[in-house]
A and B are shown apart, each in its own frame.
Chain A
Amino acid sequence: MRLTHILPLVLFAVVALALGIGLTLNPRIIPSALIDKPIPEFTLPPVDGRPNGLAASDLRTGEVAIVNIFASWCGPCRVEHPLLMEIARSGEVPVHGINYKDLPRNAVAWLKQYGDPYQRVGSDRDGHVSIDWGVYGVPETFVIDREGRIAYKHVGPIMRDDLDNKILKKVRELQGK
């Protein structure tokens, strides 16, 4: 068979493959530009009615940490919440929160109802600190390494598989266990 006869078929296969890959990607997941970059400089006050705000210096203590962006109005946050509670109970790694564009009283009531896994929670009322973190939706979860760099980012609710095989795996790797 001559090349000119098979060429359209080859071209079709290439285009079909490219479209096949392109159309099955999840467009909601945007690759993070901040992996391996230092965390942004920020200081957030505590949520009214709760101690301990969150600042960049709290994440540069030489300890691996998890930072979770959440809001009481966010449905998927409730889905992942029991897993955050589980991490907090295990004491394996500190979990901190950034309360995204939320009313303090709603946030406090939410944490009272579903449990409070956070050591520190910064209140980001206008969402600008979260933009500094490259957040584009809630929930998002970051793993911070010992040097205060963003080592991993998870977008959307944490599922069992994400926790065991991605987030905690990364944490243990960074802790050198």
Chain B
Amino acid sequence: MMLTVCRAWLLAVAAAFLFLTIPSVSQAVPVDEPLADPALEARARALHKQIRCLVCQNQSIDDSNADLARDLRIVVRQRISLGGSDEEVLNYLVDRYGDWVLLNPPLNIRTLALWLGPVVLLLLGGTFAVVVIRQQRSTQGVKPEPLSEAEQARLSALLDNDRDAL
């Protein structure tokens, strides 16, 4: 009799414990955990690496420990698991945070200088170098005037002096 009461108590405690540790659905606080489906998780991770952490600025949300980065990781995972395409997920964030949220900026009117700037600078520098080198070449071909007799005599004297010094 005593044993059965005890066992009933134990069961009740165990049940209460189980009930308390299972997170209730209504209170579910989203967690920063990998998705169960490895394919979806791989897509989420790939996207995380492309998204800038807005408070740490030059880290991706995959790298960052910032609170906002964590929240953005969760948002990306939620949207992916709800069937959003990669493009839809990125567009959602770009709509809210602008192109700046992408670590790899898209090519458009506003980023034209960013993408074409280096090429333009290279062309400018290259043209400059070519012009300067050509100019130097054109003066290279001209032979200097031969030495006059007086200059030749001075040169010989100087060379003789050096030989004596040795």
Contact = CB atoms under 8 A, between A and B. Distances in A.
Given A4-B128, A126-B29, A126-B30, A31 B98 contact: yes
Interface in B127-144: 128, 131-132, 135
Interface stretch (A48-56, A59-67, A86-94, A130-138): A130-138
B71 interface: yes
A33 B71 contact: no
B124 to A, nearest CB: 7
Interface in B40-90: 54-55, 57, 67-68, 71-72, 74-75
Interface string A76-101: 00000000000000000000000001
A27 B71 contact: no
Interface string B9-41: 000000000000000000001100000000000
B54 A136 contact: yes
A21 interface: no
B162 interface: no
Interface residues of A, number: 22
Main secondary structure of the interface of B (DSSP, over half): helix
Nearest to A133: B96
Given A126-B71, A136-B68, A137-B68, A34 B96 contact: yes
Q: Which of B55, B57, B67, B97 has the most CB of A within 10 A?
A: B97
A30 B100 contact: yes
A32 interface: yes
Contact of B75 (A34, A101, A128): A128
Contacts of B57: 27
B96 A131 contact: yes
A136 B30 contact: no
Contacts of B98: 30-33
Interface string B94-117: 111110100000000000000000
Given A30-B98, A136-B68, A137-B55, A131 B75 contact: yes
Interface of B: 29-30, 54-55, 57, 67-68, 71-72, 74-75, 94-98, 100, 124, 128, 131-132, 135
23 contacts: A4-B135, A8-B128, A11-B124, A30-B54, A31-B98, A33-B95, A33-B98, A34-B95, A37-B95, A101-B67, A126-B29, A126-B30, A127-B68, A127-B71, A128-B71, A131-B71, A131-B72, A133-B96, A134-B96, A136-B54, A136-B55, A136-B97, A137-B54
